[in-house]
Amino acid sequence: MSWFNFHDYRISHTYHHLYTLHPRGDREVVLPVKPTLHVVHLLELFTLNLTSGGEPWSWPLIPVIGGTVKLAFTGKFNKEWLRAIYVDQAAARKKAINWARMVLLFHAAIIVVSIVFKIWLLPILVTLAPFIANWWRYFVGAPMHTGLKDNVPDFRLCVRTITLDPFSRFLYWRMNWHTEHHMFGAVPCYNLKRLSRTIASDMPRPRSLIGGWQEMRKTWKKQQEDPGYQYDTPLPEHKDYNEKEHDPSEASLGELDPKAFE
């Protein structure tokens, strides 16, 4: 049981898939995002991340635990986006609050057990683990949308697919095929590689991890001179397709869409 509130995620991420990078309906990622490599930020990412941002790709301890405590005791969310998505979701909001309380009780129990039995490593491995050396999550997660276009209907322009080594792909649940994941949300993660091969002729060329970061950094540099600039991903030439019967599964989000979100 980590500090991750899956009730928040279920609703927020459903909006993220329905209205990807359209700020009125998706504020899980709001552009522009600075792909920072500041030394203080990196120091926290490689040690204990206390305050350094980069959400949703890295978790700083103080804001995350502080937000959980606030939600558990006051029923109020720290972030404007979370307040917005629960406006008409009273039942889900109650579940999120109860979950925050359970998380606090769980970690309080961990601390008590560690003191009673002198297992000093226990809270480090359980309570603090999400905030220790979460650098890889930041480096892999940030390229998914950073520096791309918002308010566009084409996922190929607002989502970035990157190539990763097999171990990193496994840790990231193969979400490196992120454009394909957004286009066909019902496709299981273990089939995304095969899907990417099937539709490769219609897709932009995948970036490497380093290439994605170079693209983001160059975009951010241009945005300092031209705030309205967004990277325009080169797309394959348009092809004409024969009309075919519509398959409802093409627009499905699979099991992502929570039952409470109706």
Domain count, the chain: 2
pLDDT at 256: 64
Position 242 in a domain? no
Same domain, 116 and 210: no
pLDDT at 84: 97
Same domain, 151 and 70: no
**What would the two tokens of residue 242 be?**
């024969």
Same domain, 145 and 89: no
pLDDT at 93: 97
pLDDT tens digit string along 106-147?
999 999 999 999 999 999 999 999 999 999 999 999 999 999
Same domain, 91 and 37: yes
**What would the two tokens of residue 27 be?**
């504020």
Sign for the CA dihedral angle at 42, 45, 51, 56 comes to: positive
Position 190 in a domain? yes
Q: Which residues of the chain fall short of a pLDDT of 70?
A: 1, 54-55, 239-262
pLDDT at 240: 58
Same domain, 158 and 211: yes
Same domain, 27 and 128: yes
**What would the two tokens of residue 1 be?**
């049981």
Which whole-number Å values give the CA distances from 146 to 24, 56, 104, 134, in the listed order? 18, 12, 33, 18
Same domain, 115 and 88: yes
pLDDT at 239: 62
Same domain, 20 and 125: yes
Same domain, 56 and 164: no
pLDDT at 262: 56
pLDDT tens digit string along 182-215?
999 999 999 999 999 999 999 999 999 999 999 9
pLDDT at 250: 61
Strand partners, 207: 162
Which of 134, 169, 199 is the endpoint of a domain? Answer: 134
Same domain, 171 and 64: no
Which of 96, 112, 134 is the endpoint of a domain? Answer: 134
Position 194 in a domain? yes
Residue 46 sits in which domain range? 6-134
